[in-house]
Homo-oligomer: A and B are copies of this chain.
Amino acid sequence: MALEYPTFLINFKRYEGTAGGDGLELAKTIETVQERTDTSLAVAPQTPDLSRIASEADLRVVAQSVDAAEPGRGTGEIGLPAVDAAGADGVLVNHPESPQTLADVEAIVGGCRERGLESIVCVDSVEMGRGALAFDPDCLLFENPDDIATGRSLAETAPERVETFVSMVREENVRTRLLLGGGITTGVDVEASLRLGADGAGAASAFVNAADGEAWLADIAESLADSSVQD
């Protein structure tokens, strides 16, 4: 299933308290907020939990990373066929914490297209974004690695960079969606992101570290819902 925009993507990364039963519980919380707010949320669980969360939670599920590899040998590698079979709806490609080669980005985006998986390529500059667009991905996730886990979002610290990025994407490829990540902390960041032209946003540490994750996410989701209505 393709993602539905606007969307908000929550990445569990390898944070403590997000794996196994804890991860499933967090996914259930996200599902609850999604239903209540009638929004479209997505989760990138820790890889060992992908299949379980995809089968037990009613959420769009995104693989944190896959290797560019055909089925077969390759103990320990995460193949596209495996995350597809596990029930993933999309794949993060080239996350700054799992950077990938130009050839692998091409292969994975192409493989996602064949399988109907949403390809979400992470980039941190206008140039890298333009480079990634050559492969016609479904979505770009624009994130300044320096903003990760800082509590300050790009929409706030450098709105003109976001605008430049959005313009470039809209000019180069009308169909590719655009998410903003890095330092997204409150609903205000989400509103700012959408106002600047993004199709959604994402977070990791802010959700994981929130005293009350459900309340935190509800605030985010309401901003998402409000902005959708305005469209």
Q: Chain A, 70-89, contact with B by CB distance < 8 Å: what is the 0/1 string? A: 01111111110111111110
> How far apart are the CA atoms of A24 and B52 in the complex, in Å?
11
> How far apart are the CA atoms of A88 and B20 in the complex, in Å?
10
Q: In the complex, what residues of B have CB within 8 A of residue A11's CB? A: 75
**Contact (Cβ within 8 A) B134 A130:** yes
Chain B: which residue is nearest A95 at the CB level?
B75
> How far apart are the CA atoms of A134 and B23 in the complex, in Å?
35
Chain A residues engaging chain B, CB cutoff 8 angstroms: 11, 13-16, 19-24, 44, 46-53, 55, 63-65, 69, 71-79, 81-88, 92, 94-106, 123-125, 127-136, 148-149, 204
* Interface CB pairs A-B, < 8 A, 29: A13-B74, A14-B72, A14-B73, A14-B75, A15-B73, A19-B81, A20-B87, A44-B75, A46-B79, A47-B48, A48-B48, A48-B86, A49-B50, A49-B82, A51-B51, A51-B52, A64-B76, A73-B148, A73-B149, A73-B204, A74-B97, A75-B95, A76-B92, A94-B101, A106-B131, A127-B134, A127-B135, A131-B131, A131-B132
